[in-house]
Structure 1
Amino acid sequence: MTTPYLLIAPTSAETMADADITAAIERLFTTQRGMNEHLLDVATHEGLVTLTGFTDNLLARRRAEEIALAVRGVRGVTSTIAVRSLDLPDADLQRDVSGALADDPATGDYQVQCTVAGGVVTLTGMVQSWVEKQLVLRVLRGVRGVTTFVTEHLTIQEGEIVNSDEEITTQIRELLAWDIRVNSALVEVRTNEQVVYLTGTVGTATEKDYIINIAYQTGATRVDARDLFVAYWALGSELRREKFAPRANASIVNAVRVAIHRNPRVRCSETLVQALEGIVTLAGTVGDLRARQEAERDARLVVGVSDVHNLLKIRPERLVPDAEIRQAILAALARDPYVGHFYFTVRVSQGQATVHGQVGSAFERERAGDVATGASGVLAVANLVAEPTEARFAELSAAQPGHPDPDFALAGRIRQRHFWSAGLHDQDIEVEVSQGCATLTGTVDTWPERQQAALNAYEAGARNVNNHLRVLAPAVTAAPEPQAPKPLELHADAHC
């Protein structure tokens, strides 16, 4: 008998039946904390998933979409999930959205104004690039009570430098060649009057999503990806082999610099990059803790990078008093849709923040730490938030009457998550569980896959995860070196 958290694998590994895909997504939703699976419906037709129903915040809606995109066999996702949030007074929500933008180190000086009516946030003003606009929306998705955005009057400045069609096409190809998350070997790019047309085949719906976003970052006014198809056979490791070949140190350095420059949180920092046999060292200064973290993340996503030594120092533009940092963290925690209903205490000493409290899951604990990390002026965060792991572990184990050994049941849930992951299903991952603690050993192709494997274990109910997965070193035989990407010609940036 199939238990609520274990899904029997389809007999054919080549084709995923629609019913199996639907069941896999629904079962993944059941173990997602902060998401009410009873309010979400999933339907699949020829690998195309349709999500309907309701969530209580924008982050949960996006999370549901990302989960579906990453499931093995999914060719695309259409979402009409509505957001039904708490009815907060407009004045309170106006205060929260304005505070979220003002308190964020990157968006604090953006020329963006917000008006609120019934949970709908209307944005006006001007930003310098598409990525800055996406950052504004990402910050505001983290405010509970926001149900949707109106962005027609949030414009992107047209500077003196406008990329030509040829430049847009070239930059997209170069960025795809250096992004470890995508395999663009079967992707064609064409640009006409700043409209980008993508054709060809990729292995996952998540890859397609990444490629579309990269196209917008280069200055495309619209991206037409109707003829960019997702096919299971395109996941073949032989098609990805060139991605993992060694790269010249100078080319890696240049690619990392471009990746960092694309990030609006980091690009104005004084960042020094060095590379030796795939190991990248970041030095210099950044303005805030979130920028330091994202610089490392961006470097790890570059082809040829096997590890990153992060020596970046945090140098805020102004000295923020400890009391102000503490108040900013408490305000951010209070307005967050996932942890805003919990009680926290925060202590700050010389920019070092310590967060205490109790939440209901590992996800909420990590969320609290992440929210605190985003405050202006904070130099480090000690996340001492507790979670009732014993109760959560017992809850998940009780749902497995066919498996009296809770460790056995947990290991099964983790393996099933890896099986249904488009990026992990063919990776060499071993799972062992002892007293609710999962240990992962083996190898994966990339750093993002290593992270995802651990996240899957936590979401399956692990109390703790010992992640001993190794990222495979580049193959000895080098493939032809892709052209190193040139720095993007961004619009004049008033924030630097």
Structure 2
Amino acid sequence: MMKTDDEIKRDVEAELRWDPDIDASNIAVNVKSGVVTLTGFIPSYLQKFEAEKDVKRVQGVVGVANDLEVRLPSVDQRPDPDIARDAVEALKTQLPYSYQNFKVVVRDGWITLEGEAEWNYQKEKADMAVRGVKGCKGVINSIKITPKVAAQEVKRKIEEAFLRSAELDAKRIEVEASDGEVVLKGTVHSWFEREQAERAAWQAPGVRKVEDRIVIQP
């Protein structure tokens, strides 16, 4: 039996309150046709992502619009040069062999990442590295993926990853690949499964764009 929007709303609110790593006191939850919209304020950029992860775990959720605004407490506000210095150090720590390929620009607490990467995991890891820098209000990840692998090889590697995954029914998902761009089609049973498929696609070498057309059928 499918959950109603009111039931999803209740469960999302409970999940947010249950998470000890976020302050959910100023978060408002709205649900329409299974799509959850988060509005209000959150005291750190890292908590904004944590709230989104909480929502995606709730059964019945088919989409999330994270419109939370980061409002840093005065004690966490810092000058842009200090944020930039710590962001560069975070990149060096998390990506010691490729951090030189990236550039950090900070304006009004927002960190912009620029440069090129061969693998999407490097782009993701760079984003995650700077996300927790004190004073960060948001991250704009402009790192470009430079494809160096043939489309058929990309398609094969993604399909093999699907077959290895215990969380995915590979027979229900179709993969198309062209010039570093991947399209996923088919059906899955949950948002988590859809996210796992997309993550597996991004982990293939040379992938610079994933268009996820997978439909959730609970």
Whether the aligned pair in 1 keeps the contact of 2:121 and 2:203 (CA below 8 Å) is yes
TM-score, normalised relative to structure 1: 0.40
The correspondence for 1:256, drawn from 4, 8, 12, is 12
- Spell out, residue by residue over 1:438-487, the C-alpha distance to the aligned partner (whole angstroms, 9 max, x if none): 2111222222222221222232324223323333244xxxxxxxxxxxxx
Q: Are 1:457 and 2:201 matched, yes or no?
A: yes
Structure 2, unaligned runs of 5 or more: none
- Spell out, residue by residue over 1:413-437, the C-alpha distance to the aligned partner (whole angstroms, 9 max, x if none): 2212112211212552111122342
Per-residue deviation at 1:388?
4.5
Task: Determine the C-alpha separation between the residues in 2 that align with 1:382 and 1:270.
Answer: 24
The correspondence for 1:330, drawn from 63, 66, 88, is 88
Matched with 1:369 is 127
Give 3-state SS (helix, strand or coil) of 2:85's partner: helix
Whether the aligned pair in 2 keeps the contact of 1:418 and 1:425 (CA below 8 Å) is yes
Counterpart residue type for residue 261 of structure 1: R
Q: 1:277 to 1:440 in 2, by over 3 A?
A: closer
Q: Are 1:281 and 2:37 matched, yes or no?
A: yes
Per-residue deviation at 1:385?
3.0
Give 3-state SS (helix, strand or coil) of 1:389's partner: coil
Give 3-state SS (helix, strand or coil) of 2:134's partner: coil
Per-residue deviation at 1:276?
2.9
Task: Determine the C-alpha separation between the residues in 2 that align with 1:357 and 1:436.
Answer: 17
Identity %: 29
Whether the aligned pair in 2 keeps the contact of 1:283 and 1:313 (CA below 8 Å) is yes
Q: 1:462 to 1:361 in 2, by over 3 A?
A: closer
Displaced runs of 4+ in structure 1, greater than 6 A? none
Task: Determine the C-alpha separation between the residues in 1 that align with 2:36 and 2:145.
Answer: 35
The correspondence for 2:55, drawn from 274, 282, 299, is 299
Task: Determine the C-alpha separation between the residues in 1 that align with 2:173 and 2:180.
Answer: 18
The correspondence for 1:379, drawn from 101, 123, 137, is 137
Per-residue deviation at 1:291?
1.1
Give 3-state SS (helix, strand or coil) of 2:142's partner: strand
Cα RMSD, aligned residues only? 2.2
Structure 1, unaligned runs of 5 or more: 1-244, 394-405, 475-496
Matched with 1:434 is 178
Give 3-state SS (helix, strand or coil) of 2:124's partner: helix
Task: Determine the C-alpha separation between the residues in 2 that align with 1:283 and 1:335.
Answer: 33
Counterpart residue type for residue 383 of structure 1: N
Task: Determine the C-alpha separation between the residues in 1 that align with 2:142 and 2:215.
Answer: 29
Task: Determine the C-alpha separation between the residues in 2 that align with 1:254 and 1:439.
Answer: 34
Whether the aligned pair in 2 keeps the contact of 1:457 and 1:465 (CA below 8 Å) is no
Matched with 1:416 is 160
- Spell out, residue by residue over 1:50-70, the C-alpha distance to the aligned partner (whole angstroms, 9 max, x if none): xxxxxxxxxxxxxxxxxxxxx
User: Which of the two has higher C-alpha Rg?
Assistant: 1
- Spell out, residue by residue over 1:357-383, the C-alpha distance to the aligned partner (whole angstroms, 9 max, x if none): 444422112111121122222222122
The correspondence for 1:353, drawn from 104, 108, 111, is 111
Task: Determine the C-alpha separation between the residues in 2 that align with 1:438 and 1:335.
Answer: 30
- Spell out, residue by residue over 1:364-407, the C-alpha distance to the aligned partner (whole angstroms, 9 max, x if none): 121111211222222221223345432xx2xxxxxxxxxxxx33
Count the aligned residue pairs.
Answer: 214
- Spell out, residue by residue over 1:317-363, the C-alpha distance to the aligned partner (whole angstroms, 9 max, x if none): 12322222212212222222xx0342243211112211234444221
Whether the aligned pair in 2 keeps the contact of 1:442 and 1:468 (CA below 8 Å) is no
* Pairs within 5 Å for 1:266-277: 266-277=22-33
Counterpart residue type for residue 70 of structure 2: I
Task: Determine the C-alpha separation between the residues in 2 that align with 1:279 and 1:388.
Answer: 33
Matched with 1:315 is 71
* Pairs within 5 Å for 1:59-458: 245-318=1-74, 319-336=77-94, 339-341=95-97, 342-343=99-100, 344-390=102-148, 393=149, 406-426=150-170, 428-458=172-202
Per-residue deviation at 1:253?
1.9
Task: Determine the C-alpha separation between the residues in 2 that align with 1:449 and 1:427.
Answer: 13
Q: 1:452 to 1:333 in 2, by over 3 A?
A: same
TM-score, normalised relative to structure 2: 0.86
